[in-house]
Amino acid sequence: MPNTPQPQNHLFEASQIRSIWDVEQEEWFFSIVDVVAVLTDSLDATAYWRKLKQRLKAEGNETVTNCHGLKMQAADGKMRMADVANTQQLLRLIQSIPSKKAEPFKLWLAQVGSERLDQLQDPELSIEQAMRDYKRLGYSDNWINQRLKSIEIRKELTDEWKKHGLQEGPEFAFLTDVIYKTWAGKTAKEYKQYKGLKKESLRDNMTNKELVLNMLAELSTKEISEIANPDSLSEHEEVAKRGGGVAKEARLKLEAETGKKVVSRQNAKGLQLANKSDKKHD
């Protein structure tokens, strides 16, 4: 996911529940405060959850311990950290919240999961959902088209790696860093720091030019891998360098022709502001 979580709002009885689809873990994560709000009708769902969390932690509840935080859009429009839980964790938490809506909510969770399975089985539905998500976040149509294409190319590369028995996680991350370092001169971590990012998705903060060159690097790596048929991790590293090298040559040529650097400090906020500015001038 893409490697990035995809934000979305789901409706339960006309109440919005913020949710994020985590591509890597392939599951939904829901805002616990939003769930508490619809189950309890509490005037201060945040305070309710805070007290419930303290009580459950004191009882040694593992579900609360395993819950973690993700950035979600707050009421003021800003992205803030929020406690989230997956479907299994929510079902356990609901048992600690006396509510007549508990059973209807469980059925709703099952429906949300079923809809996502339909999207996974039909790529067109998933693409349409991603387009709506990016559009809602303020990205331009041109950028969205590039980003969706980059997702397709990334999947083709990771499928190639899987075919050779490489492990998702450390080995994928290592080879991705090799590709980035070769064409952009920075590892993923260095690239994110350059853009002022922390946990945000690097690709969701790339400009069109950066996306295109990164696509070229990953496409080239996949194509070369199919011909070279690497066996060991070191051989895959060499292929990644060759693939990244194709994009590096294109970057240097473009920079020489235009006098402009491709690797940019611009991030999603800057991209969205630029999109708003473009619309004002239309």
Residue 163 shares a structural domain with residue 238: yes
Residue 75 counted as domain residue: yes
The string of DSSP codes covering 40-88 is H--S-HHHHHHHHHHHHHHTT-HHHHH-EEEEEE-TTS-EEEEEEEEHH
State whether 85 and 111 are in the same domain: yes
Within-domain flag for 133? no
Both 110 and 148 in a single domain?
no
Whether residue 149 is found in the same domain as residue 185? yes
Q: Which of 99, 123, 147 is the last residue of a domain?
A: 123
Quick one: residue 140, left, alpha or beta (phi over 0 = left, psi -120 to 50 = alpha)? beta
Q: Quick check: 128 pLDDT over 80?
A: no
Check whether residue 246 and residue 166 sit in a common domain.
yes
40 and 157 inside one domain: no
The verdict on residue 130 lying in a domain is no
Count of structural domains within the chain: 2
Give the span between the Cα atoms of 262 and 217, in whole angstroms: 14
Q: Is the pLDDT of residue 3 over 60?
A: no
> Whose CA is closest to 209, among 239, 245, 178, 183?
183
* Residue 132 within a domain: no
Domain assignment present for residue 144? The answer is yes
Which of 123, 148, 180 is where one domain is finished? Answer: 123
Q: Which two tokens stand for residue 54?
A: 């303290």
pLDDT for 61 equals 75
The Cα diameter of the chain in Å comes to 66
Can you give the pTM of this predicted structure? 0.57
Mean pLDDT of 89-93: 83
Segment 140-182, tens digit of pLDDT = 888 888 888 998 899 899 999 999 999 878 899 999 999 999 9
- Residue ending a domain, among 123, 155, 187, is 123
pLDDT of residue 127: 65
Is residue 99 predicted with pLDDT exceeding 50?
Answer: yes
Name the least confident of 124-133, 179-188, 263-272.
124-133
Determine the structural domain holding residue 100 and report its residue range: 6-123
Number of alpha carbons in the 13 Å side-chain half-sphere of residue 119: 16
Contacts of 71 (CB under 8 A, 6+ apart): 79, 80, 81, 82, 199, 200
